[in-house]
Amino acid sequence: MTQGRSQGHDGQERVATSLEGAVGEEIGAWLAPVDAELERRYPGDPGTRQPVHTVYVPGDVFAAGTVRSWGEQALAALDEHAPDAESFAAVLGLSEELGVPVHDRVRAKLEREPVEDLRIDFEDGYGGRPDAEEDRDAARAARLVAEVRAEGTGAPWTGIRVKCMEAAVRDRGIRTLDVFLTGLMESGGLPAGLVLTLPKVTYAEQVTAMVRLLEAFEKAHGLEEGRLGFEIQIETSQAILAADGTATVARMIQAAEGRATGLHYGTFDYSACLGVSAAYQASDHPAADHAKAVMQVAAAGTGVRVSDGSTNVLPVGPAEKVHEAWRLHYGLTRRALARAYYQGWDMHPAHLPTRYAAVFAFYREGFRQAATRLARYATRGAGDVLDEPATAKALSAYLLRGMDCGALTLDEVTTATGLTPSALRSFAAPRRAGLTTAPH
């Protein structure tokens, strides 16, 4: 080992070391398979926009005007039960500073894009129908999806939920998926923003079965391998904890072979599976918190996103009942956002005002602090919080999500941070810099 320090001919101080370069090369070669495995299993968030909610509409109810109808009904509920910013803020307990900007953004959102993600339901919301009827509804859904996509009147994300892979309904689910996808192909091809949902998944093998089904469809139509992805719904206890004590949901993600796009928590099926009484089946029940925490850890870094479930308390009836339901929905949505569940289910048009109010308030009330901290980090400025790269990643991701949903504007964020959109994305996804936040 070289002792002390010395200077070379170039005047630069030489630092003493003990190991030969070959040691590092050997370790690098030894860890190369691990490096590859990390890249394969944990590619990070895709960097694309994530919808803030999913709306489920039964397959026989879905129509070309469904999205617009939901927006109109949501605006009508606002006009009837909270006609101005002051009354809406009073119902939800919004601060004076947030009241007007949140209210104005909610109304604008309901007029422009009331539904971000629409799922045409052929499972619980559809029920058991004669095969011929379900065939017709699935084919009709495909035609309507193609129609509204061509007209630009649909939701950015649209797809279907089919029946699960359990024996009693497996063939029906496979056929419905085939009819729907074939109909899309015959109507111009698979649209951007297509989402498929597989419910009540209990074993990883059921995920593998879905993969094989999609592979077969891609091969039949000459599609690029991997073109079709799907969401996995977590609605049974076995999906969280397997018989051998391992986390089934982690195996499900791997069984999807890169096709899993999301894990969606099923509030009521999962609660019932655990024996929770109907009056206590809610997304903030301790059983729900445990399930979603396991889902969140299993999905972290994989690029698979986690979605919260829904509330079945509908904002209908006299004003006091609507206001009570709004406060509940608003509180549950804010609670989910604080726990990093950035998506949830909405079951009624009158849920839309409080979905967007909660989302907009969440990003607007934390905007200034997040922008200031990120600007200080980017310029190595001093502040009262010592932030690390991981925190900079969280801060920039927060701001990008705020812009994606319409809570924040690009001008607001770039002015407050001094950062370009590409710089924001590089902080948010350092391993995947350069990705856009547009819908896929």
Which residues are paired to 234 by β-bridges? Answer: 265
Q: Which residue has the tokens 């547009």?
A: 438
pLDDT, mean over the chain: 93
DSSP codes, 107-127: HHHHHH-S-SEEEEESSTTT-
pLDDT digits (tens, 9 = 90+) for 285-310: 999 999 999 999 999 999 999 999 99
Give residue limits of the domains in the chain.
53-365, 367-432
pLDDT of residue 439: 38
DSSP codes, 8-65: -TTSPEEPP--S-HHHHHHHHHHHHHHHHHHHHH------S---SEEEEEETTT--TT
* Whole-number Cα distances in Å, 17 to 1, 2, 3, 29, 335: 7, 7, 9, 21, 52
Q: What is the pTM of this model?
A: 0.91
265 in Cβ contact with 307 (< 8 Å): yes
Per-residue pLDDT at 262 exceeds 50 = yes
* Cβ atoms within 10 Å, residue 44: 17
Strands 260-265 vs 230-234: parallel, antiparallel or unpaired: parallel
Per-residue pLDDT at 7 exceeds 90 = no
Tokens encoding 368: 């200034």
Rounded CA separation 143/135 (Å): 13
Residue percentage of the chain with pLDDT more than 90? 86
Rounded CA separation 30/8 (Å): 34
pLDDT of residue 433: 36
- Band of the pLDDT at 1, cuts 50, 70, 90? very low
Burial of 101 (0-12, 13-18, 19+ CB in 10 A): middle
Which residues are paired to 307 by β-bridges? Answer: 264
Strands 157-161 vs 117-121: parallel, antiparallel or unpaired: parallel
pLDDT digits (tens, 9 = 90+) for 225-240: 999 999 999 999 999 9
pLDDT of residue 416: 96
pLDDT digits (tens, 9 = 90+) for 267-284: 999 999 999 999 999 999
pLDDT digits (tens, 9 = 90+) for 148-179: 999 999 999 999 999 999 999 999 999 999 99
Residues near 24 by beta carbon (within 8 Å), at least 6 away in sequence: none
- 59 residue type, one letter: G
pLDDT digits (tens, 9 = 90+) for 178-218: 999 999 999 999 999 999 999 999 999 999 999 999 999 99
Per-residue pLDDT at 46 exceeds 60 = yes
Task: Return the CATH fold of 53-365.
Answer: TIM Barrel (3.20.20)
Tokens encoding 387: 């932030």
Rounded CA separation 353/189 (Å): 34
pLDDT of residue 183: 98
pLDDT digits (tens, 9 = 90+) for 363-410: 999 999 999 999 999 887 655 555 678 888 999 999 999 999 999 999
Strand residues in 270-375 grouped as ranges (E): 305-307, 344-346
User: If you average pLDDT over residues 6-34, what whole number do you get?
Assistant: 84
User: If you average pLDDT over residues 337-341, what whole number do you get?
Assistant: 98
Rounded CA separation 299/249 (Å): 8
367 in Cβ contact with 416 (< 8 Å): yes
* Whole-number Cα distances in Å, 75 to 228, 251, 352: 35, 43, 9
Rounded CA separation 92/187 (Å): 44
